[in-house]
Structure 1
Amino acid sequence: MTQNTNEPTAPAEPTLPADVQALSYEQARAELVEVVQRLEAGGTALEESLALWERGEALATRCEQWLDGARQRLDAARAAGAPGEDAR
């Protein structure tokens, strides 16, 4: 039996630097704000701007991971009929 190589595959989870992976949501968001401010201010060399952009992308991904996890926890709590939730 041959494997169909045209089947779509799930996108791979991006590999984040270990220091970014260790950040809390609040830490990642605060650093992301700083990165955006530095990029918007301009005046940085091309290499530094690229490094800031890449760092910002990693920080944004980390924030998304935290938010996705929080969303999943809320969905699970709702599905389980969390205490205090009104039955409508």
Structure 2
Amino acid sequence: MTDRPVAEMSFEEAMKELEGVVSQLERGDVALDDSIRLYERGAELKKRCEAKLKEAEEKVAAITLDGDGQPAGLKPVEGL
């Protein structure tokens, strides 16, 4: 686990650390206080991953294709 702020992490960085947190919690050999801290960090990491995925999905959804299957431009994404 790093001390890097979750808000600064890329999707890949957050996912890798989240996998490490889950692994530590599943082993069950972590003290209670550390388990709580890990769980809180894991919740933050999960939220970051979900936000980055949503952001990527919105970007993909905004791309429209012309009749030849080529990107024709961008259209506004609802809510942005």
TM-score (norm 1): 0.69
The TM-score, its normalising length taken from structure 2, stands at 0.76
Distance change >3 Å, CA 45–CA 83, structure 1 → 2: farther
Alpha-carbon separation, structure 2, partners of 1:20 and 1:40? 21
1:9-58 CA distance string (max 9 Å, x none) = xxxxxxxxx71000000000000000000000011111100000000000
The letter of the residue matching 2:39 is W
Structure 2: state its 5+ residue gaps: 71-80
Which secondary structure does the structure 1 equivalent of 2:63 belong to?
Answer: helix
Which gives a bigger RCO, structure 1 or 2 (Cα 8 Å, sep 6+)? 1
1:85 maps onto 2:45 in alignment:
no
5+ residue gaps in structure 1?
1-17
Q: Is 1:49 paired with 2:35?
A: yes
Q: Percent identity?
A: 37
Structure that is richer in strand per residue? 2
> RMSD of aligned C-alpha atoms?
2.0
Aligned residues between the structures: 67
The answer for the alignment partner of 1:72 in structure 2 is: 58
